[in-house]
């Protein structure tokens, strides 16, 4: 079988680098081109030094990109929607990792991204990129919009409960703890090591964009109170979402277990982590660096109707490039785990 020819646009960023790493080892894919305006004509190893010895590829410019089987767009937010026609000319399938096509309602986009959407006509065409929720739509999709990293962690954590209607819809409070790679590879004062190191920075206590994705996917069109905050901590990769939901009924942990088991028992990249002993009784992002897992656990508060659901993932993997490759596999009928079998390191 011929390998699938994939080109990565915006390949010098962190998500682009992860996509490149994954696809270079993917059994059914060949990386055709990788673009970067800033590093055009330089080797990809100039910015992704982990790929030394693995590839001799150099970056091309965006205007040098040639037709291929799939384009993986890792461009900054706002760039994909302006050039989407050109991209669709170049490839029959597209996976976009930016926020451009994640929201189905144009007014949501304008509210949360504070700019008009350039191609509202295409919003309906993009499948929201969480395979565990939209696997069937992905199979025939021309376009997939990869989900936000924090949004993925929260949606996967809470979807089974919301779908089953077990949760009070107004009182959910979610706090994500995130690493510095979430801010991308552009240096600035906020990421200057002496300032960022050791931080517990409440960088988005309210009004985080990913809230819109979470409400869209969990609310199923109905209004929903998701109170979301994001705190940056000393970590490079990783998201831990701590989700406080309030149960309608007095379910015990066994009942909750069943709900998750039914929802995710067959999922290759979701592990229900809830153990009685050891140091890793609940999900822990550091175990997931480089993997495509989303680990999910939960604890019932004995003093109230609160259930604390905890999920962890690698923001560059299940929160970006890994999930995109998972979508690519589904779109092309490959085994869903192809190229994604790294299980993570300990310690």
Catalytic positions are: 149
Residue range at the interface with its own copies (CB under 8 A); choices 61-69, 94-102, 131-139, 167-175: 167-175
Residue found under tokens 């509202």: 120
Please work out the total of residues on this chain that contact its own copies, with binding judged by CB under 8 A: 92
Chain centre to alpha carbon of residue 22: 15
Residue range at the interface with its own copies (CB under 8 A); choices 61-69, 86-94, 113-121, 170-178: 170-178
Residues 252-271 that bind its own copies (CB under 8 A): 271
Q: Based on CB atoms, which residue is closest to its own copies, 91 or 239? A: 239
* Whole-number Å distance between alpha carbons of 173 and 244: 5
Longest dimension (CA), the chain: 61
* Whole-number Å distance between alpha carbons of 242 and 154: 8
- Indicate which single residue of 312, 321, 324, 330 sits in contact with its own copies (rule: CB under 8 A): 312
* Whole-number Å distance between alpha carbons of 27 and 319: 22
Q: Which residues touch 47 (CB under 8 Å, ≥6 apart)? A: 12, 17, 36, 39, 185
Q: How far is the CB of 82 from its own copies (least distance, A)?
A: 27
* Whole-number Å distance between alpha carbons of 137 and 144: 9
Q: Based on CB atoms, which residue is closest to its own copies, 47 or 167? A: 47
Contact predicate 155/329, CB 8 Å = no
Residues 70-129 that bind its own copies (CB under 8 A): none
What is the x/- site pattern for its own copies, positions 217-246, by CB under 8 A? --------x-x-x-x-xxxxxx-x-x-x--
* Whole-number Å distance between alpha carbons of 18 and 27: 16
Q: How far is the CB of 180 from its own copies (least distance, A)?
A: 4
Kindly state whether residue 251 participates in binding its own copies, applying the rule CB under 8 A.
Answer: no
Q: Is the dihedral of CA 211, 162, 97, 121 positive or negative?
A: negative
Residue found under tokens 């067959």: 266
> Quick check: helix, strand or coil at residue 31?
strand
* Whole-number Å distance between alpha carbons of 298 and 243: 9
Residues 2-61 that bind its own copies (CB under 8 A): 14, 17, 21, 24-25, 46-54
- Indicate which single residue of 207, 220, 255, 262 sits in contact with its own copies (rule: CB under 8 A): 207
Residues 279-308 that bind its own copies (CB under 8 A): 279-280, 282-287, 289-290, 293, 295, 297, 299-304, 306, 308
Q: How far is the CB of 143 from its own copies (least distance, A)?
A: 28
Kindly state whether residue 191 participates in binding its own copies, applying the rule CB under 8 A.
Answer: yes
Q: How far is the CB of 225 from its own copies (least distance, A)?
A: 6
Residue range at the interface with its own copies (CB under 8 A); choices 63-71, 79-87, 175-183, 319-327: 175-183
DSSP 64: G
Kindly state whether residue 347 participates in binding its own copies, applying the rule CB under 8 A.
Answer: yes
Sheet architecture: strand order including 172-178: 200-204, 226-233, 172-178, 239-246, 306-313, 294-300, 270-272
**Three-state SS annotation for 99-142:** CCCCCCCHHHHHHHHCCCCCCHHHHHHEEECCHHHHHHHHHCCC
- Indicate which single residue of 67, 82, 205, 265 sits in contact with its own copies (rule: CB under 8 A): 205
> Quick check: helix, strand or coil at residue 19?
helix
Kindly state whether residue 62 participates in binding its own copies, applying the rule CB under 8 A.
Answer: no
Q: Based on CB atoms, which residue is closest to its own copies, 124 or 190? A: 190
Q: Based on CB atoms, which residue is closest to its own copies, 106 or 233? A: 233
Q: How far is the CB of 21 from its own copies (least distance, A)?
A: 7
Kindly state whether residue 206 participates in binding its own copies, applying the rule CB under 8 A.
Answer: yes
Q: How far is the CB of 260 from its own copies (least distance, A)?
A: 14
């Amino acid at each position: 079988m011929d390998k699938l020819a994939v080109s990565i646009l915006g390949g010098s960023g962190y998500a682009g680098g992860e996509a490149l790493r994954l696809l270079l080892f993917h059994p059914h894919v060949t990386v055709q081109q990788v673009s970067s305006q800033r590093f055009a004509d330089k080797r990809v190893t100039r910015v992704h030094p982990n790929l030394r010895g693995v590839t001799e590829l150099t970056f091309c410019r965006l205007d040098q990109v040639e037709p291929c089987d799939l384009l993986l767009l890792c461009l900054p937010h706002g760039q994909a929607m302006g050039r989407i026609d050109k991209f669709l000319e170049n490839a029959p399938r597209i996976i976009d990792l930016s926020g451009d096509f994640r929201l189905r309602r144009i007014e949501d986009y304008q509210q949360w991204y504070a700019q008009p959407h350039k191609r509202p006509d295409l919003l309906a065409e993009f499948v929201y990129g969480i395979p565990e929720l939209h696997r069937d739509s992905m199979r025939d999709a021309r376009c997939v919009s990869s989900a936000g990293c924090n949004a993925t962690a929260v949606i996967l954590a809470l979807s089974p409960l919301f779908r089953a209607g077990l949760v009070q819809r107004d009182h959910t409070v979610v706090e994500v703890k995130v690493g510095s790679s979430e801010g991308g590879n552009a240096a600035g004062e906020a990421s200057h090591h002496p300032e960022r190191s050791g931080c517990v920075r409440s960088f988005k206590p309210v009004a985080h964009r990913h809230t819109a994705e979470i409400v869209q996917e969990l609310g199923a069109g109905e209004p929903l109170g998701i109170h979301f905050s994001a705190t940056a901590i000393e970590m490079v990769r990783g998201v831990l979402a701590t989700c406080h939901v309030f149960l309608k009924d007095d379910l015990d942990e066994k009942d909750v277990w069943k709900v998750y088991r039914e929802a995710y028992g067959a999922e290759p990249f979701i592990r229900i982590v809830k153990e009685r002993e050891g140091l890793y009784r609940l999900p822990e992002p550091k175990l997931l660096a480089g993997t495509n897992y989303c680990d999910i656990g939960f604890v019932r508060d004995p003093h109230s109707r609160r259930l604390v659901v905890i999920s962890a993932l690698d923001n560059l993997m299940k929160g970006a490039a890994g999930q995109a490759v998972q979508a690519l596999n589904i779109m092309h009928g490959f085994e869903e785990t192809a190229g994604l079998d790294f299980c993570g390191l300990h310690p």
